[in-house]
């Protein structure tokens, strides 16, 4: 990929596998000076750092829904690499399956804390440590589910709708120094979405105009562009990375 982020220091939450790990790999390939990767479990994030196998990677165990962990991970990043220019709020969870009228409220609370409060906690940590003064770029991982209603994962979709509005709100509040954008993926080949593609991949692929499901690298390319100076006049946008489903729904008059 030609888009470069040479010399930039990045922090990616939820990067022990899936989309987050792919973003870390792409950032390294695109010239990042340092990449902090975080996830809950020390053994998972250390294993990801071993796979990335690059001295520019700092693995940190940190929960996405903990303000103390966010502040600590940001401080460790600045201490190790001398700054922080890019934050990717990627960590996400989806334990709350079922209709909203009956789904377990504990699972709903966990989903909303990780997916929707988490990105605010990490944005505040980055803003307070360096970005308010030195500027930067934040990319949030939303979902096409945050733009329409659907069965079974209403609580998750609500959290992603909140991420979309958070993106626009923060873009407004943090301008002009910090750009804040989001990507909205459809079904991507990761553990989180396994129920939507394992054993049913052909069926799921057919629901996308581009006739395939997404790969983690598809999302990583879009995130790298939005994080980079190539997007320096773009803030507050939500970029669907979705094989065409959002455009197709809009063309049928179903909205975004």
Ligand X SMILES: NC(=O)c1ccc[n+]([C@@H]2O[C@H](COP(=O)([O-])OP(=O)(O)OC[C@H]3O[C@@H](n4cnc5c(N)ncnc54)[C@H](OP(=O)(O)O)[C@@H]3O)[C@@H](O)[C@H]2O)c1
Enzyme catalytic residues: 156
Q: Which residues of 151-169 are buried (b: 16+ CB within 10 A; e: fewer)?
A: eebbbbbbbbbbbbebbbe
CB-nearer residue toward ligand X: 4 or 124: 124
Taking only Cα atoms into account, the Rg of the chain, rounded to an integer number of angstroms, comes to 17
Which of 90/228 has CB closer to ligand X? 90
Between CA 128 and CA 3 the distance in angstroms is 28
> What is the CA angle 225-189-203, rounded to 5?
120
Count of beta carbons in the 10 Å neighbourhood of residue 61: 17
Helix 154-174 to helix 118-126 angle (10° resolution) is: 20
Complex with ligand X: residue 117 or 132, whichever CB lies closer: 117
Min dist. Cβ of residue 7 to ligand X (A): 26
User: Cβ distance 93 to 115 under 8 Å?
Assistant: yes
What is the full DSSP assignment across 28-59?
HHTT-SEEEEEES-HHHHHHHHHHH--TTEEE
Instruction: Give the nearest distance from C-beta 26 to ligand X in angstroms.
Output: 13
List contacts with ligand X (CB under 6 A).
13-20, 39-41, 44, 63-65, 90-93, 114, 141, 143, 185, 187-188, 190-193
CB proximity list for 135: less than 8 A, separation 6 or greater:
85, 177, 178
Nearer to ligand X, 13 or 137 (CB): 13
Give least dist CB 65 to ligand X, A.
6
> Based on CB atoms, which residue is closest to ligand X, 84 or 184?
184
């Amino acid at each position: 990929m030609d888009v470069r982020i040479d010399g930039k220091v990045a922090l990616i939450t939820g990067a022990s596998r899936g989309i987050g790990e792919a973003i870390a790999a792409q950032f390294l390939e695109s010239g990042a000076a340092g990449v902090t990767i975080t996830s809950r479990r020390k053994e998972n994030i250390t294993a990801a750092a071993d796979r990335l196998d690059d001295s520019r990677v700092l693995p940190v165990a940190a929960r996405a829904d903990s303000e103390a962990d966010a502040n600590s991970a940001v401080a460790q990043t600045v201490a190790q690499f001398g700054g922080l220019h890019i934050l990717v709020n990627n960590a996400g969870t989806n334990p709350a399956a079922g209709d909203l009228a009956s789904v377990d409220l504990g699972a709903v609370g966990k989903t909303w804390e990780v997916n929707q409060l988490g990105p605010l906690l990490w944005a505040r940590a980055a803003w307070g440590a360096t970005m308010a003064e030195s500027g930067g770029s934040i990319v949030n991982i939303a979902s096409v589910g945050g733009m329409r209603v659907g069965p079974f994962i209403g609580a998750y979709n609500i959290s992603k709708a909140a991420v979309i509005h958070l993106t626009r709100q923060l873009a407004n509040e943090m301008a002009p120094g910090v750009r804040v954008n989001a990507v909205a993926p459809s079904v991507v080949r990761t553990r989180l979405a396994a129920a939507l593609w394992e054993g049913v991949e052909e069926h799921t692929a057919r629901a996308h105009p581009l006739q395939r499901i997404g790969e983690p690298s598809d999302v990583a390319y879009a995130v790298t562009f939005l994080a980079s100076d190539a997007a320096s006049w773009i803030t507050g946008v939500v970029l669907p990375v979705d094989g065409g489903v959002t455009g197709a729904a809009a063309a049928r008059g179903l909205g975004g």
